[in-house]
Structure 1
Amino acid sequence: MSTSNQLLVNIKKQAQNLARIQEIKLNEAYEIISWAFYHCPNYQDLLKRLQDPNQKVHWFELAILNSSPDNVTLEKFRNIVPTFVTRLSSRVQTNTNLLELTEQIYQIFNLPVPEDCFNSLFLNADINSNWNVVLNSKHSSHTVLENKIKINGICYKLLAISVFMPNYWPFKDPHQIDIAGEISPSMSNE
């Protein structure tokens, strides 16, 4: 099988995966894949470029990921994922956040989703995994935690607050609602 044919087979698999994951028509998936991943205006243009060796753009290197991913290509893919997320989200109405969309892109390419998938969204982010305890209450340790994240050279402080408010839980059974009301704190210091 020629390289162009193998690339086309992989691109078709990617379109099928996109159609399945996003529950869209296959012909729409071909158009979206062409534009979002391979920077072609439409699927017909992508087919023309695949047939002409002089027209192949560097994006076609990523089409081989389904058949034979090597470390260099995988690293290149990981670096381009934020661009794919942006381009794909502009073409697909999705009921998901950027992290889930990133995971879907790995699924489209039949690649395992890395554990640090969140970090791939922010290429210029320095995420500290050490959470510091800011406040402990007498009822619960780790009531307020803080961490710092640096994105594009700007430092942000993250706060994680432990809140126990069972009276706001979505119970439907009146007995459960009564129990939630009894165990819920009524004062801010409880």
Structure 2
Amino acid sequence: MPTTQLSKNVFLQAKRASYLLNISLSQSKHFIAKAFYRCHDYQDLQNKIKCYGINSQVYPFAKVNSSANTELIEYVEKNLVFLVSRLQQYFYPSTNQAIMSNIIWKIFGINRKISRNCLIENTNHIEWSTFSGKSIKNEPVIFCNLLINDCPFIVLATKVVTVDSFPIFNELEKKFLHDRVFHTECIPFIQWRDINEWKNIFVQFFKDYSHCKTFDKNLLQTVLTPNSDGEVWFFQIFRRFFNVLNEEFGINPIRHIQIAGSYYSIIGLPLAPNVLSESSFKKSSTEIYISDDDINNDKCIIELGSNILCIDLFELNDECDYVGESVDYFEGLNKACSPLDWDEKGYLIVNNKRYKAYLRTATESEYLHYFQPGPLLEMYS
């Protein structure tokens, strides 16, 4: 591509950024040069364009415009997490990653319409229940039933505690708690106790902060302790499941979703087909149908309100042996959930192919890739 066209593309990117971010054109030029192209300033970027001296990783971005081909769009997709992390360095407090990804597509002049395969449009369409029969607001674990291609699943939603569970704290206090408490844990904190007990612990800590600069996690022991033997048993399964996810996805964190104002982590497991003989299961279940077209990279995406879930699909042969490459991940999930005895014979059939399937909450990068948030950026459409 001629250098004149590259310069024009970069100028238009800066112009769109000026409009989207409500900053002057000179500011947006400087912003694009540093955040997108790792240059000192806009003039440095122009000089490097003329002599094809841009860093090889970011050079393809200069070729992207509203008529970009599939190869360039795929390159942006592949580097979207990198771009988001670069741009977030210039925003305080950090802007939501999903919103930021949409800003990036709009800066490139691309009206990105992500396909979100199977849709459950609102969590109100899901009939959440509790094992005790009590209100879901008072229970740490709730569940719902799904029927996916006539295969029964139970979806377990575990209430967790995040920094966003505490609107009483300001952004600096939330950042401190994230860095010193929540970010250091691989397994989400399950909310076994009332959220006010957690809040009181953190409120007292901030009061004592002047003479106690570090957070003593022993303070959380009372709220982290399950209330019954059943909760201890469930926590062991929950921990094993998330250890497998952490090993599979590494530094790409698993998101939480919101249900009735609280935060949850989700595990979905196939059930034995004989539960379909129970009229109560079919009556309370939500039915979903997926096809080959809905499967991408051995997974299918379900929209759940303003969140997404992933169905990980593991293809089996006629002897029910896994035939894919993610052997450690597949065996890890099987082992983590084996004490439940719920998934022994549950198989998902898609176009005559047999799959073992598990549901989980999406990772950050999956959320960026598949989910397009609604009204927050519609003003720029």
Q: TM-score range by the shorter chain?
A: 0.5 to 0.7
Residue 186 of structure 1: aligned partner:
none
State the alpha-carbon separation in 2 of the partners of residues 116 and 139 from structure 1: 35
- TM-superposition CA deviations, 1:127-160 (whole Å, max 9, x none): xxxx9956275888xx935288846248869565
1:57 pairs, out of 55, 58, 62, with 55
CA contact (8 A) 1:4 1:50 kept: yes
Residue 103 of structure 2: aligned partner:
104
Residue 174 of structure 1: aligned partner:
none
- TM-superposition CA deviations, 1:41-100 (whole Å, max 9, x none): 2111101111113x2332222222215412221111111111111111212446731111
State the alpha-carbon separation in 2 of the partners of residues 74 and 17 from structure 1: 18
Query: In structure 2, do the counterparts of structure 1 residues 116 and 90 end up closer, same or farther at CA, with 3 Å as the change threshold?
Result: farther
State the alpha-carbon separation in 1 of the partners of residues 79 and 92 from structure 2: 21
Structural mapping, 1:123-162, within 5 Å: 135=130, 137=133, 144-145=142-143, 146=157, 150=245, 152-153=249-250, 158=256, 160-162=258-260
TM-score for the superposition, normalised by structure 2: 0.33
* SS, match of residue 4 in structure 2: helix
What runs of 5+ residues in structure 2 fail to find an aligned partner? 117-125, 144-156, 159-240, 262-381
Q: Hey, which of these two has a bigger chunk of strand by percent?
A: 2
TM-score for the superposition, normalised by structure 1: 0.62
CA contact (8 A) 2:66 2:109 kept: no
What runs of 5+ residues in structure 1 fail to find an aligned partner? 118-130, 164-190
Q: Aligned Cα RMSD in Å? A: 3.5
Residue 39 of structure 2: aligned partner:
40
CA contact (8 A) 1:37 1:84 kept: yes
- TM-superposition CA deviations, 1:3-59 (whole Å, max 9, x none): 111111111111111111111111111111011111112111101111113x23322
TM-superposed deviation, 1:161: 3.6
CA contact (8 A) 2:88 2:95 kept: no
Query: In structure 2, do the counterparts of structure 1 residues 70 and 20 end up closer, same or farther at CA, with 3 Å as the change threshold?
Result: same
State the alpha-carbon separation in 2 of the partners of residues 92 and 22 from structure 1: 11
TM-superposed deviation, 1:104: 0.7
Greater than 3 Å deviation, 4+ residue runs: 92-96, 131-134, 136-140, 147-151, 153-161
Query: In structure 2, do the counterparts of structure 1 residues 100 and 133 end up closer, same or farther at CA, with 3 Å as the change threshold?
Result: same
CA contact (8 A) 1:10 1:63 kept: yes
Q: Quick check: 62-71 or 39-48, which moved more? A: 62-71
CA contact (8 A) 2:66 2:108 kept: no
Higher relative contact order (CA 8 A, sep 6+): 2
| Code of the aligned partner of 2:51 | D
Aligned length: 147
Residue 126 of structure 1: aligned partner:
none
CA contact (8 A) 1:10 1:67 kept: no
Query: In structure 2, do the counterparts of structure 1 residues 20 and 93 end up closer, same or farther at CA, with 3 Å as the change threshold?
Result: farther
State the alpha-carbon separation in 2 of the partners of residues 41 and 92 from structure 1: 18
CA contact (8 A) 2:88 2:94 kept: no
Residue 8 of structure 1: aligned partner:
7
State the alpha-carbon separation in 2 of the partners of residues 103 and 153 from structure 1: 24
State the alpha-carbon separation in 2 of the partners of residues 156 and 100 from structure 1: 17
Residue 184 of structure 1: aligned partner:
none
